[in-house]
Structure 1
Amino acid sequence: MASGALPVFGPGDDVLLVDDAPVAPLSVARSSGARRKGLLKTSAVDGALWITRCPSVHMVGMKYPIDVAVLDGDGVVLHVATLRPTWGMTRWRLRARSTVETGVGQLERWGVRVGSRLAIGSESTNPDAG
């Protein structure tokens, strides 16, 4: 990577499950610092980022667009959107508990839509792992 170039975020140690099917490597932001940082200071995302205890996100400081899925406490998708850098954001939803962020087009490719159930799987959940 060139000096000053932003890194690609991921891949993570977990696996994103969509309706029980493994679809991508996943990082999980559980600490307040990791939740605050999110995908800031990165140039792209490899896989996805699950941000716990995060009912909405903003794009202030981001350099590239992302897809987001807003989830309830059971991992059911309440809202799906593509957010653009600087001014994009999701509005707060009453039952929202977590947000999953990924590259533009990935949620559609993985079949994620309102009503889908997302979950965090371990590397052993992924049949392509190992």
Structure 2
Amino acid sequence: MVTDQNGTFGPGPHRLLVNGRDVAPLVVADDRKSRRRGLLGSTELIGALWITKCPSVHMIGMKYAIDVASLDKSGRVLAVKTLRPGWGMTLPRLRVSATLEAPAGALVEWGVTVGDTLSTAS
């Protein structure tokens, strides 16, 4: 993935758009290996990670808090939650097809709320 020797994950080659507005660098995890790995082993996230085919995430093995947005197939935000290291997780939801992970506080900073549409740009 995009983790350097210091454990920093990102920034990625793509851009995250919130309702068409560019807000941050983005890594897209769209294959089995990158989806399984996610942010595990990292110590910091710059930008965001979009995990395709991912209805839920867990915090086992994580070292820092993250914001999580659960997305439907069109990129519409169905839920937003901040998870702390340890045993936290999001529960699978029927319409969730992808998950966006960002540093804790970033989704508020970027103005992401339930009902917004997230998308990617290269």
- TM-score normalised to the size of structure 2? 0.94
What is the alpha-carbon distance in structure 2 between the residues aligned to residue 6 and residue 31 of structure 1?
24
- Residue in 1 that maps onto 2:73: 73
Of structures 1 and 2, the larger Rg is shown by 1
Could you list the structure 1 runs, at least 4 aligned residues long, displaced by more than 3 angstroms after superposition: none
Unaligned runs of 5+ in 2: none
RMSD of Structure 2 on Structure 1 (CA): 0.9
- Residue in 2 that maps onto 1:108: 108
- Look up the equivalent residue of 2:12 and give its one-letter code: G
Tell me the matched-pair count.
118
What is the alpha-carbon distance in structure 2 between the residues aligned to residue 115 and residue 15 of structure 1?
20
Q: What's the CA shift string for 1:11-69, capped at 9, x where partnerless?
A: 00000000000000000001111000100000010000000000110001101110000
Identity %: 56
Q: Are 1:93 and 2:93 an aligned pair?
A: yes
- Look up the equivalent residue of 2:23 and give its one-letter code: V
- Residue in 1 that maps onto 2:51: 51
CA contact (8 A) 1:72 1:98 kept: yes
- Look up the equivalent residue of 1:76 and give its one-letter code: R
What is the alpha-carbon distance in structure 2 between the residues aligned to residue 78 and residue 60 of structure 1?
23
What is the alpha-carbon distance in structure 2 between the residues aligned to residue 34 and residue 92 of structure 1?
19
- Look up the equivalent residue of 2:22 and give its one-letter code: P
What is the CA distance between 1:6 and its match in structure 2?
4.5
- TM-score normalised to the size of structure 1? 0.89
What is the CA distance between 1:93 and its match in structure 2?
0.8
What is the alpha-carbon distance in structure 2 between the residues aligned to residue 102 and residue 8 of structure 1?
13
- Residue in 2 that maps onto 1:34: 34
SS of residue paired to 2:25:
strand
